A and B are shown apart, each in its own frame.
Chain A
Amino acid sequence: MSANPIRVDLQLIADMVEPGGRALDVGCGDGSLLAYLVNFKRVDARGMELSQAGVNACVANGLSVIQGDADTDLGDYPDDAFDYVILSQTLQATREPRAVLKQMLRVGKRAIVSFPNFAHWQVRLRLVFGGRMPETPSLPFKWYDTPNIHLCSIDDFRALCRDMGVRVERAVVLNRNSRRIHMPPLLANLFGEQAVFMLRRD
């Protein structure tokens, strides 16, 4: 099995996962995070992916993946089935992010969520001064064909966690060069292009 480097945000997520546990990657895409967790962290890692072509490619690579939808199919799993349920760059594309988060924290002891920050300064500039819907490297779509129907800012996400009574165990913010930034929340919400949160039920 190869040791190809994985995307920075996926590496961050992988670093949050303790070796040897059980993880479910919801929206696992091409399975690169799954493969990393299986090969380097000895994790019993499973995946769920919306696209059948993506699923077939993952299974052909020896990964345990099924076709499924974050909005509808997490309900199948029993409580506490996994140590971690991971949702990377997918929350904003779900129909009911709050319900998905709730399911993730029911099925998993912890949830790890990464998402693009809609309050990043580039996004703000483009909307305020350009007068157009933002298109950035992490949000590359036109307004009419974007899968991202529930975008939020880092502060929005924190507010949702408070509202749901979910404890934020870790929060990592990355700038546009995918470097970690250490700033007070107000600035992080301005300079962070994406964020990775590790959550658990309180």
Chain B
Amino acid sequence: MSVLEDLTEAERKALAQCRHAVLGVDRPLRLDCGVELGPYRVAYQTYGQLDADKSNAVLICHPLTCDQFVGESHPVTGKEGWWDSLVGPGKVLDPARYFIICINVLGHCMGTTGPSARDPDSNQPWNLRFPVVTIGDMVRAQAALLDHLGIPDLFCVIGGSMGGMQVLEWAATYPRRVFSAVPIACAEHHSAQNIAFHEVGRQAIMADPDWKGGDYRLHGTNPSRGLAVARMTAHITYLSEQALQRKFGRSLQNRDALGFGFDADFQVESYLRHQGSTFVDRFDANSYLYITRAMDYFDLARAHGGVLANAFKGSPTRFCLVSFTSDWLFPTRESREIVHALNAAAANVSFVEVETDKGHDAFLLDEPEMFRTLSGFLQGAAHARGLTGGLK
């Protein structure tokens, strides 16, 4: 049985370069909203080999606008893998040692079923009729894929931002399947300010006349202007004021004087416009609505009776949290709340705050202190698990 859909150009290229599986044929995925989804496709990429006792699997959970191409050049953009600094030979996550899996999340647009697929009941594209998915749904779909692949548990689940939310969800939902967990630059719920920024982005998409109530593909249009504005807004939240000042200041773009008009006079404007216009080539507007919604809905404490510690009660998992001093989207305070809850559950936890002016994006960048932290933590965890394969 296959998944009905009209693949976008980006999805076609993505699926040609990665692995994928159709799941939920016999047993559909019961979503938090109550809908039963199936069959659905999960697109994923792997690096390295699973060892004989299946003890070296590492799941990387990708953030909002990244995807399964974590350690290789991207099939659509041609850019290097989004976590190339961390994944690769000689890096912290070395495929010679670990079996690394990265799964495109449910609702996304790089091959895993999302709003651009067809509803098997009506044979019509889902578009905005696609059920709203949650971080929990994404994680359950990932667990279903691991079942399908015969991977009983994970040596480590690691991710930043929305990826970090998935890590927390993994540890809370499947504590026995997660030996170690590394949530980076994230929170146990999306703050009012973060929801507000997401709402601006969604409204920008929906205000674009080409959005057509979500049915833009039927009309042969694409709300690329709205999606670009959404990206521009979000991108500001990924940086810090210092980083913007350091990179751009008030420097002018390709001119010596103010233009007295509304072209991109300033470098920072030009930079944001570039971020927006390149984003629309690889990202689907409806997926952007769905994935941002999933982040907004995330509230782990609420899902556990209002007490976050309950989510981790008796957890055997070793945790390592990382935050960044200049990250105002997911400030250190929010990581610290998770640490407090883990302490209240007497869980094994490490927590490092990295000093940087690069803002939220720091987790994707060259941050030697983060690499040292992750490398040390994984060595300690490997030692505790008796994992010695591939050690140099």
Q: A1-B383, A65-B350, A67-B351 are in contact. Are A59 and B377 (CB under 8 A)?
A: yes
Q: A1-B383, A64-B380, A66-B339 are in contact. Are A59 and B346 (CB under 8 A)?
A: no
Residues of A within 8 A of B369 (CB): 56
CB distance from A80 to the nearest CB of B (A): 9
Best-buried of B340, B350, B352 by chain A (most CB within 10 Å): B350
Q: Does A81 contact B (CB under 8 A)?
A: yes
CA distance A1 to B373 in the complex (A): 17
Q: Chain A: which residue is nearest B313 at the CB level?
A: A78
Contact at A56–B377, with CB atoms within 8 Å? no
CB distance from A13 to the nearest CB of B (A): 21
Q: A56-B372, A59-B320 are in contact. Are A67 and B353 (CB under 8 A)?
A: yes
CB distance from A147 to the nearest CB of B (A): 22
CB distance from A155 to the nearest CB of B (A): 34
Residues of A within 8 A of B373 (CB): 56, 59-60
Q: Does B318 contact A (CB under 8 A)?
A: yes
CA distance A65 to B322 in the complex (A): 12
Contact at A59–B348, with CB atoms within 8 Å? no
CA distance A63 to B372 in the complex (A): 12
Contact at B344–A78, with CB atoms within 8 Å? yes
Residues of B within 8 A of A60 (CB): 372-373, 375-376
CB distance from B55 to the nearest CB of A (A): 18
- Contact string, B370-391, partner A, CB cutoff 8 A, digits 1/0? 0011011101110100000000
| Complex partner residue of A77 from B318, B344, B351, B379, CB under 8 angstroms | B344
* B interface bracket (residues with beta carbon within 8 Å of A): 20 to 34
Q: Chain A: which residue is nearest B344 at the CB level?
A: A76
CB distance from B220 to the nearest CB of A (A): 53
Contact at A64–B348, with CB atoms within 8 Å? yes
Q: Does A130 contact B (CB under 8 A)?
A: no
| Complex partner residue of A61 from B340, B343, B351, B376, CB under 8 angstroms | B376
Residues of A within 8 A of B350 (CB): 55, 58-59, 63-66
CB distance from A184 to the nearest CB of B (A): 41
CA distance A46 to B380 in the complex (A): 12
CA distance A55 to B355 in the complex (A): 13
Interface residues of B in 263-311 (CB under 8 A from A): none
Interface residues of B in 308-334 (CB under 8 A from A): 318, 320
Residues of A within 8 A of B346 (CB): 77-78, 81-82
CB distance from A193 to the nearest CB of B (A): 34
Residues of B within 8 A of A58 (CB): 350
CA distance A66 to B376 in the complex (A): 14
CA distance A76 to B340 in the complex (A): 6
Residues of A within 8 A of B381 (CB): 62
Q: Chain B: which residue is nearest A47 at the CB level?
A: B350
Q: A56-B373, A59-B376 are in contact. Are A66 and B343 (CB under 8 A)?
A: yes
Q: Does B349 contact A (CB under 8 A)?
A: yes
Q: Chain A: which residue is nearest B340 at the CB level?
A: A76
| Complex partner residue of B383 from A52, A62, A67, CB under 8 angstroms | A62
Q: Chain A: which residue is nearest B355 at the CB level?
A: A52
Residues of A within 8 A of B379 (CB): 62
CA distance A60 to B380 in the complex (A): 9
Give 14 pairs: A residue, B residue, CB < 8 Å, sorted on A. Answer: A46-B349, A52-B355, A59-B320, A60-B372, A60-B373, A61-B376, A62-B383, A64-B318, A64-B348, A64-B350, A66-B339, A73-B343, A76-B344, A81-B346
**9 cross-chain pairs, A with B, having the tightest CB-CB distances, nearest first:** A62-B380, A60-B376, A76-B343, A81-B346, A60-B372, A66-B351, A59-B350, A62-B379, A62-B376
Residues of A within 8 A of B (CB): 1, 44, 46, 52, 55-56, 58-67, 73, 76-78, 81-82
